[in-house]
Structure 1
């Protein structure tokens, strides 16, 4: 369908957050490579469907990052399945995913499904860090998770997530140096052109999320900064 190997920039929209039609139009027409729909909590089927129906007016690829079974619906180009590698509870690594396959295994189109090995790096006050019962990895541990993602699990994506906080470019570079086949996604705190340019030097794909809601004008500038 689409060549994800060429993707450099993705916007992430949270179905639980309010956003104007004007900003949605600008996002869909921005030239971003894709839009991810997903969030940590209060993600409902109604919220997902509202975003999906609006984005489908445009030709931009749209992905559902699955956060709960109740909000899964047909109509997306791809479905990203997070596997939280640094969670202290294996339900966020395999049990939730297994539950979904038990429920929907007969109807899943596996060609549309992609696993993401998540490493959540931000401090414990982060909502997603708490929700998935994570432990904060050291640099060596984060690199080890990347090696596992590529060589042991052979995952298509390794997602370094700072969730609202801008991360350490040196760490992202060190992780990038370990990956050849697994694509490195970076998300967290990107709100300016310079931050987008910096992280895109090392990550195969950057995700811009919170900035859409806090300063959409600046968030939109990140597209050209990465794809120039």
Structure 2
């Protein structure tokens, strides 16, 4: 069985269709050497702003995936589609409800061969994603690791995503979670705002996601690409 394209991703930029980014900044992001762009956001994502962002990214050759967080924003033309399951949500709509409704409506049209599930574990209660999805973010280490095992061993999700959006997470815990995986890939996002934090995250996770820094400090965000690649080369070496 062929490995999915994301199996080799080390660094990814995540862009929010509901946030403004200039043509110059977008070019810098797409030409930075990152492995891919993920398009997605917790709120304000529409068909129109997703189409617009995709059309701008398509000027470049970087792979582009859509994280589908609403049925309205399911836009054709992406290389890959990621479907989030918020495993620590208190609302079953974020576990199977929204996903089931989307399949009911659009199942015939979904490109299943390039569509993958993401097992989200949201660990920052102040993050917009936690509020929108009603995530129980105050987990202890044993609970976080249990969700990790559940996603990987029982649900067989190809991506386990530890999300600390807005702050740097417990990278020692991230590394422990990564060590539990038997077949999934560990994505990490949250607080990557400098080369140092990027390198530390790269040593703990399989794939480092950089999002907010693009809008807060573009130069620092761009520097995370080389930092992640260098960190990974040291580990592999």
What is the TM-score when the length of structure 2 is the normalising length? 0.94
- Measured in 1, the distance between the counterparts of 2:189 and 2:127 equals 13
Which runs of structure 2 are paired with 1:56-205 in the superposition (5 Å)? 56-123=58-125, 125-136=126-137, 137-205=139-207
Structure 1 residue 2, shift from structure 2 partner:
6.4
Match of 1:14?
A: 16
Equivalent in the alignment of 2:216? 214
Confirm or deny that 1:37 pairs with 2:45: no
Shift of 1:3: 3.0
Cα distance in 1 for residues equivalent to 2:11 and 2:74: 24
Structure 2 counterpart SS, 1:177: helix
The number of residues matched between the two structures is 227
Q: Which residue of 2 aligns with 1:50?
A: 52
| In structure 2, C-alpha distance between the alignment counterparts of 1:166 and 1:11, rounded to whole Å | 16
Please list every run of at least 4 consecutive aligned residues from structure 1 whose deviation after the TM superposition is greater than 6 angstroms.
none
SS of match in other structure, 2:119: strand
Q: State the partner residue of 2:226.
A: 224
Confirm or deny: 8 A CA contact 2:194 2:223 kept in the other structure.
yes
Q: In angstroms, what is the RMSD of aligned CA positions?
A: 1.1
Cα distance 1:85–1:141, how it changes in 2: closer, same or farther (>3 A)?
A: same
Structure 1 counterpart SS, 2:180: coil
Q: Structure 1 residue 126: deviation in Å?
A: 2.0
Unpaired stretches in structure 1, ≥5 consecutive residues:
none
Q: CA deviation at 1:168?
A: 0.8
Q: Deviations over 1:21-48 (max 9, x none)?
A: 1000000100100000000001111110
Shift of 1:103: 0.6
Alignment partners' CA distance in 2, 1:214 and 1:59: 25
